[in-house]
Amino acid sequence: MGKYFGTDGFRGEANKDLTFDHAIKIGRFIGWYYGERLGKKARVVIGKDTRRSSYMFEYALCTGLMASGADAYIMHVTTTPSVSYIARVDDFDCGIMISASHNPFYDNGIKIVNNNGEKMEEETLLEIEKYIDGEIEIPVAERENIGRTVDYVAGRNRYIGYLISISHFSFKDIKVGLDAANGAAWQIAKGVFDALGAKTYVINAEPDGYNINTNCGSTHIENLQKFVVENGLDIGFAYDGDADRCLCVDEKGNVVTGDHILYVYGVYMKERGKLLNNTIVTTVMSNFGLYKALDKVGIGYEKTKVGDKYVYENMAANGHRIGGEQSGHIIFSKYATTGDGILTSLKMMEVMLAKEKPMSELAAPLVFYPQVLKNVRVKSKPDAQNDPDVQAAVSAVTDRLGDDGRILVRESGTEPVIRVMVEAGDHDICEKYVDEVIEVIRKKGHLAE
């Protein structure tokens, strides 16, 4: 990760950590990098979520792009995966999504994808950071070389058509609940499910610029749980602010996490001979219960660092077809290069309809292990993580857990925090082992004041 760009873009509080000036400079660099530097005019597609500040960043990015001679194609309010899809299929030089995903409204972010719809290469992001910090100078466009903006709502419509085309089943008479998180999916998701014949019931689809993710969506799924039960729905889907995540609620009101989705669709693929390499890609934060369930059905798995970026890199390098995170970032490599919440919900509908079973029954074989996760603020993450006594404590817990659980100690990517997590068959055991490791961190003087 660089100075500004993390695993999922440049993110922070609007006009505090991430400013309009940053956006102008990002636009300036991209317009030059894909345009004049190569002796041509760059074409860049831009989408945004429903945050109030997204409009400011949209215009700032366009200003920078045009000043460097690029043409900016504006998709307006749309999802992150739609920008990724359109960047790939409509031959753009790159795509930009303005969103802070599941964060509160006052945060925002700038995510950049390449012309394959994949997260932008690290070396390009580092060059952008150099320009932001004044280490690189680039020229402005003049006269006929100045760029323009193009209304490109047609790109969003094309993406909607693509989603509809993916489904091989009619959703007629299926009662589906959708929680749009007052975010980017607020119009798109309902349109797709309606077109496929579902009886669609929508909540949190009245964005006002400030209510994105507020007590709604995939980070507050309890509202959808209640909604599904009270209305007798067959299934519910909750998205986050930019709709690259999806969590489900079964007909009984139970939460179906990203781990459940990986299990349900992975088993479905294996049964049909479609699970290439017989492997599912997970992150180290997937629940121990997922691995136990996959072992029982003979499906292999890989574990990456936290972040759908790392999941996709593993899938692309090894030819795996499905991977994702417990949080609901699920990647179906046959259809997309990034997590796509609406696509994920369509694939869950496919399994239900093909197997003629309710989601509660499909997800039942995966039994979650109790988990305790505690965050510890430290003076130095590497010093605490690499301390021999801390590592010895972690090894001792690992030995005691054996095949009946696991411990994970990792550094936060955004905070001065060490995360200590234990999964085991009993919650009290989890609590005990987490506290043992934290006590060693404390005794060794690593805790921050």
Residues known to be catalytic: 101
φ/ψ (deg, to 5) at 263 = -65, -50
Task: Classify the C-alpha dihedral 31-33-37-39 as positive or negative.
Answer: negative
Helix pair 122-132, 20-33: axis angle to 10 deg: 120
Tell me the C-alpha to C-alpha distance, in Å, between residue 119 and each of 7, 116, 122, 308: 9, 9, 9, 10
Tokens of 395: 């090894």
Burial of 175 (0-12, 13-18, 19+ CB in 10 A): middle
Residue with tokens 């070396």: 123
Whether the CB-CB separation of 201 and 176 falls below 8 Å is answered with yes
DSSP strand pairing (94-98 vs 43-48): parallel
Whether the CB-CB separation of 300 and 320 falls below 8 Å is answered with no
- Give the single-character DSSP code of 143: G
